[in-house]
Amino acid sequence: MEQTKYLIAGCSHAALSALNSIRMLDQDGSLTLVTKDDHLPYSPTVLPYIVSGQSKPEKVKLRDDEFFAQNKVNFISGAGLSTLDVDNNSVTLQNGQEWQYEKLLLATGAAPAIPPIPGLTDTPYHVLRTMDDAVNLHAALESAKSAVVLGGGLIGMHAAENLIKVGVQVTIVEMRPQVLPGYFDAEAAKIIEQTFIENGVAMRIGNTVVGAAPDGEGAKVSLDSGDEITADLLLVCTGVAPVISYLEDGPVETDQGILVNDCMATNIANIWAAGDVAQAVNFYSGEKSVGGILPAAVEQGRIAGMSMINDPAINPYPGGVPLNTYGFFGNQAISVGVSDENALPKDTEVLLNVNEEEMTYQKILIGEGCLLGISGINTDFDPGIMWQLVLQRVDLEPVKEEFLSNPTDTGRDLMSRTWR
Amino acid sequence: MGHSHNTIAFHQDKCDGCGECMTVCAGAKSGTADTLHSRLKIVPSIAANDSFELALCRQCGDPKCVLNCPSGSLTKNHKTGVVPWDAEKCVDCLLCTVGCAYGGITYNAAAGHVMKCDMCDGDPACVKSCPTGALEYNRSAEIYNNYGELEDLFVPGLAACQGCNSELLIRHTMRKIGSNAVVATPPGCIAGMGTVGFNGKTGSKIPVFHPLLTNTASMLAGAKRYYNRIGRDVTMVALAGDGGTVDAGFQSLSGAAERGEQMLYICVDNEGYMNTGMQRSGSTSFGSWTSTTPVGETLHGKTQDAKNMPVIMMMHNCEYVATASLAFMDDYYEKLDKALAAAKRGMAYLHVYSPCPTGWRIPSESTNEVCRKAVETNFVTLWEFAPDEGLRFTHSTDDPLPVEEYLNLSGKYRHLDDAQLTHIENSVERKVAFLNGFMLATSDDGAESLAQ
């Protein structure tokens, strides 16, 4: 059995962020990074750009062999976790290797959640979560003239835009009444949907897919409205679910994902979890939920790494905050925190500024003098600063007028003072 | 060994919000005067009128924008310290802007992508354009990188007190000067901490000797003349305290300076005989507690002002005279360069103000802060003098902080009453006014301002 001080399962943002934290204080402790993927580390977020051809697989690697050599990282690709034996502090990899660890980080991410649509399993469809998915989908575009995208979330919308840009006729089907729920309210979503329609994307919002079947080389989907859509390509982007199959029947506590405390530690000694696989506390509700957003993965990975190395500078995880930067057809939509006041107490202050002609939208939500959320389309604010204002519950009362009229400069002023 | 990086510092108290930096940045980086394209943003402060704040990339050591980047277009260059952005790899997802709490990487809607400061390859345009000195390109890191690589010419484990400024000084100084030197360390802390050796072993890797308190400059003068006679160019260095310079060593130093003996004489001024039990010296400042100027019912510290030794040396036909403080390391190194060149022609005198944590009763971690505050309050002035160039301030004496901000840091001033404080304030002002007069009378800059 091989031995390693630190074993990190997964190699995307949470894993690399933890690696970074560990190497800050321990440059020499043996560190092994294992991933089921056959590629150097990359981000799932970048995949839509691989699909469109705007970027190339070899261009988007987040780390390379030179980095691993310099940082004394034993990088094992093509071998995810197969089983975990917490009593022996050991794991088995898919390639049969056994590894014993002193500290283990589970950053195994998430995989597409495939909805139980009748006929779907017999129908050829694509998903978009791994580099291989992206390369396959990119190759499929050569012959495809039309596509149906199931799901109007981030990946689905990104993919749809990138498909139409290379000349594929696209239909998006979203079961919920708006696209991008959780990040934007219905009004902002409407602006985004409208832009997609203007750019030639067919939007079927509020429609449920009730069946799928093969159609020649392509696929045919039936909607609850009775309509049928046929397309050369079917892309299923209906969300993701944490990859935790290797924990089945084991003692590591899971719910939707792996349950962690505010240092990203699981209920089992020497085991941490971070990123899309982890179910950590939400900043607003205090409940634990799975997140699946990149900046949260980075933050959780950082904290997990610090906890694994006993870094005295560690601060507990403040809780997940919805964060999203979304570019579409040359427009920029950004949201930090809550975007829908309906989920908030009645006395929440709402400042809304919409200009349909200019296609700008901005909403600021303030409760008890603190920023609860800010979202905007084609408006100007620094999301990183806003995130800190939310997390630190900075009192905006003394500067509220200025903040509402100019969140960018006011935010910069506040942070410059705070961080000087 | 870790690598240090130069930084752009923002002195908020000096910023008048003119915005020139933003115009120049936009011009340098985007070829337009539109400040929308500026990588740094000056914003008005809501908290205080006529006050401004800055949003600028801090080139973090552990940058979150880099960890947030899904396309590998942001990296940290550990050599230059800069976080460069690669437009080629960027997919315009803006997740980097979520990671930055400083507004240092921002979306430029006009250009359609993010932008951030790249420090202009080590020559930032904004700093050069700033008319008030609010932006400063701090090169201290370069010094640590360059000289950190050189051999330390003293042994590890010198027995200096914790937080000793003198140890920092001599290690930097001799790394810079190198081994082709003879060092004299008369009685005082520098000899006492073990540089001359103990138990039959030397404490340095270069010839070092221990003259009397009275004859440092004469002994170096003799050694130098001998080396000159046998045709060897060796640098003579005195690392002397204020007692060995201002008091007991004064006669031999004065004579050597007057004769133009070739040496670099460094006075490490900790304002007293700290090594032997903290007695007062001619360099002890007014009001200071020492063991011979105690604080009690009748006496409240020293009742005389300190001798202004660097000014006295200015009147001694020296080739070069300068004052220094290690809180301003880049300034010190520049002066050391000039002093070494001058020491080939004659006497070069450096007067380094060197707070003593033990004798002044300051926490050992505050030494550098005390150094800095001394200069920022004008209690210590940084200047240099050369016979043909006159006197020049190397740190502005305009708009000093209240001198109390310096005095409050040291236990030796804790007992000061209002009258003593007023005395010190007046003498600080008088000393600055005197030097200003001298500057006006001797330097080209001064002559110009006199003509106006």
Q: How many Å apart are CA B265 and CA B241, to the nearest integer?
A: 11
Sequence-ordered strand ranges (E) for B319-375: 320-325, 347-353
Q: What is the pLDDT of residue B447?
A: 64
Indicate the domain borders of chain A: 2-45+60-110+241-308, 114-238, 333-419
Q: Which of A193-207, A345-359, B243-257, B399-413 has the lowest mean pLDDT?
A: A345-359
Residues sharing a CB contact under 8 Å with residue B301, sequence separation 6 or more, in sequence order: B286, B287, B288, B289, B290, B293, B294, B295, B412, B413, B415, B416, B420
Q: Which of B10, B41, B93, B96 to mutate to test the interface with A (most CBs of A within 10 A)?
A: B93
Chain A residues with CB under 8 Å of B109 CB are 332, 378, 380
CB contact under 8 A, A46 and B46: no
CB contact under 8 A, B67 and A332: no
Stated as kind and residue range, the H or E segment containing B393 is strand B390-393
Residue in A395, A131, A61 with CA at minimum distance from that of residue B46: A395
When the pLDDT of each residue in chain B is averaged and rounded to a whole number, the result is 94
Output the CATH code of domain A114-238: 3.50.50.60
pLDDT at B156 over 60: yes
Chain centroid offset of residue B322 CA: 12
Q: How many Å apart are CA A75 and CA B445, to the nearest integer?
A: 63
Indicate the domain borders of chain B: 7-138, 151-451
Q: Give contacts of A 1-40 with B, CB under 8 A.
A: 13, 16-17, 20, 24
Amino acid (one-letter) located at A230: T
Residue in B307, B310, B312, B314 with CA at minimum distance from that of residue B283: B307
Output the CATH code of domain B151-451: 3.40.50.970
Six token digits for residue B37: 């394209």
CB contact under 8 A, B99 and A417: no
Q: Which of A97-101, B141-145, B275-279 has the lowest mean pLDDT?
A: B141-145
Output the CATH code of domain A2-45+60-110+241-308: 3.50.50.60
Do A114-238 and A333-419 agree at the fold level?
Answer: no
pLDDT at A308 over 50: yes
Residue A141: which pLDDT band, with cuts at 50, 70 and 90? confident
Task: Evaluate whether A177 touches A206 at the Cβ level (below 8 Å).
Answer: yes
Six token digits for residue B381: 């002035």
Task: Evaluate whether B236 touches B184 at the Cβ level (below 8 Å).
Answer: yes
Q: How many Å apart are CA A246 and CA A254, to the nearest integer?
A: 12
Domain spanning A333-419: which CATH class is it, in words?
alpha beta
Query: How would CATH label the architecture of B7-138?
Result: 2-Layer Sandwich (3.30)
CB contact under 8 A, A46 and B98: no
CB atoms inside a 10 Å sphere around CB A395: 14
Q: What is the pLDDT of residue B390?
A: 94
| Helical spans, DSSP H, in A218-362 | 294-308
Please tell me the distance in Å from A273's CA to the nearest CA on chain B. 18
- pLDDT tens sequence across B31-66: 999 999 999 999 999 888 889 999 999 999 999 999
Q: What is the pLDDT of residue B452?
A: 58
B1 vs A: CB within 8 A: no
Q: Give contacts of B 132-171 with A, CB under 8 A.
A: none
CB contact under 8 A, A45 and B93: yes
Across the range B154-182, mean pLDDT stands at 95
- pLDDT tens sequence across B70-83: 999 999 998 889 99
Task: Evaluate whether A106 touches A10 at the Cβ level (below 8 Å).
Answer: yes
- pLDDT tens sequence across A83-121: 999 999 999 999 999 999 999 999 999 999 999 999 999
pLDDT at A20 over 60: yes
CB contact under 8 A, B109 and A49: no
Phi-psi region of B317 (alpha: psi -120 to 50; beta: other; left: phi over 0): left
Residues sharing a CB contact under 8 Å with residue B28, sequence separation 6 or more, in sequence order: B120, B125
Across the range B245-263, mean pLDDT stands at 97
Across the range A29-56, mean pLDDT stands at 93
Residue B2: which pLDDT band, with cuts at 50, 70 and 90? low
CB contact under 8 A, A382 and B100: yes
pLDDT at A419 over 80: no
Q: What is the pLDDT of residue B238?
A: 98
Do B7-138 and B151-451 agree at the fold level?
Answer: no
Across the range B270-298, mean pLDDT stands at 96
B84 vs A: CB within 8 A: no
Q: Which residue's entry shows tokens 């988007």?
A: A60
Q: What is the pLDDT of residue B1?
A: 44
Stated as kind and residue range, the H or E segment containing B363 is none
Beta strand B181-184 with B235-241: parallel, antiparallel or unpaired? parallel
Residue in A417, A363, A298 with CA at minimum distance from that of residue A16: A298
Residues sharing a CB contact under 8 Å with residue B287, sequence separation 6 or more, in sequence order: B300, B301, B302, B413, B416, B420, B423, B424
Q: Give contacts of A 131-170 with B, CB under 8 A.
A: none
Residue B445: which pLDDT band, with cuts at 50, 70 and 90? low
CB atoms inside a 10 Å sphere around CB A23: 19
Q: Which chain B residue is nearest to residue A55, measuring alpha carbons? A: B89
Please tell me the distance in Å from B158's CA to the nearest CA on chain A. 28
| Cβ-count burial B27-46 (b if 16+ within 10 Å, e if not) | bbbbeeeebebbbbbbbbbb
What is the DSSP annotation of A161-180? HHHHHTT-EEEEEESSSSSS
- pLDDT tens sequence across A234-290: 999 999 999 999 999 899 999 999 999 999 999 999 999 999 999 999 999 999 999
B54 vs A: CB within 8 A: yes
Residue contacts between A and B (CB atoms, under 8 Å): 128
- What backbone phi and psi angles, to 5 degrees, belong to A78? 70, 20
B99 vs A: CB within 8 A: yes
Q: Which residue's entry shows tokens 């004496």?
A: B397
Residues sharing a CB contact under 8 Å with residue B194, sequence separation 6 or more, in sequence order: B155, B157, B158, B159, B203
Q: Which of A230-244, B140-154, B278-292, B401-415 has the lowest mean pLDDT?
A: B140-154
Across the range A136-158, mean pLDDT stands at 92
Task: Evaluate whether B81 touches B5 at the Cβ level (below 8 Å).
Answer: yes
Q: What is the pLDDT of residue B200?
A: 85
Task: Evaluate whether A208 touches A221 at the Cβ level (below 8 Å).
Answer: no
Collapsing DSSP to helix, strand or coil, A129 comes out as: coil
Chain A residues with CB under 8 Å of B101 CB are 384-385, 387-388, 415, 419
From first CA to last CA, the distance across chain B in angstroms is 52
ipTM: 0.94
Beta strand A146-150 with A110-112: parallel, antiparallel or unpaired? unpaired
Chain A residues with CB under 8 Å of B92 CB are 327
B106 vs A: CB within 8 A: yes
Six token digits for residue A117: 């649509």
Residue in A346, A339, A343 with CA at minimum distance from that of residue A368: A346
